[in-house]
Amino acid sequence: MHHRSGPTAVQMQQMAEAVVRALPGEFREQMQDIVLQVEDFATPEQLEAVGLQDKWELTGLYEGEALPDRSIWNSGRMPARIWLFREPLIAEWRATGVQMDDLVRHVVVHEAGHHFGFSDDDMHSLEDEA
């Protein structure tokens, strides 16, 4: 599907949008306000927020308030975002040989899990069970 240089930001954005469209309806409905955004790398502030220093280590990030933590009193906030970091995803794709669509799906689903209030440990347990 993609040449060895990997997908463009637009192509990766389209893959991420396809993942959301393919989710079961009840999840898809609760993700309507999430903005999907592709950038080449995380910012230093984003890396610091998750305790990382190496920009090559972060493939995705959820920024926003998880659904279980929201209140009707907290209106007017910026929409939640799922970030995909293109260059680290391409590096992982090259290193592992995993299909790019599968890598993007994994990152989008993982970050969407944070939107629904799951911790990394919760999601690793769910992935192990699946």
Mean pLDDT within 100-110:
93
Neighbours of 38 (CB within 10 A): 22
Within 13 Å of residue 8, how many CA atoms lie on the same side as its CB? 2
Domain 9-129 has CATH 1.20.1250.20: no
Q: What is the pTM of this model?
A: 0.85
Short-list 127, 112, 93, 119, CA closest to 1: 93
Q: Which residue has the higher pLDDT, 74 or 109?
A: 109
The per-residue pLDDT for range 59-101, each reduced to its tens digit, is 999 998 777 666 666 666 678 899 999 999 999 999 999 999 9
Q: Which tens digits make up the pLDDT trace of 8-58?
A: 999 999 999 999 999 888 888 888 889 999 999 999 999 999 999 999 999
Are 82 and 116 within 8 A, CB to CB? no
Cα 124 to Cα 31, 54, 110, 121: the distances in Å are: 21, 22, 9, 5
pLDDT band at 2 (very low <50, low <70, confident <90, very high): very low
Task: Report the alpha-carbon distance of residue 115 to residue 108 in Å, rounded.
Answer: 11
Domain ranges of the chain: 9-129
- pLDDT at residue 128 in the model: 65
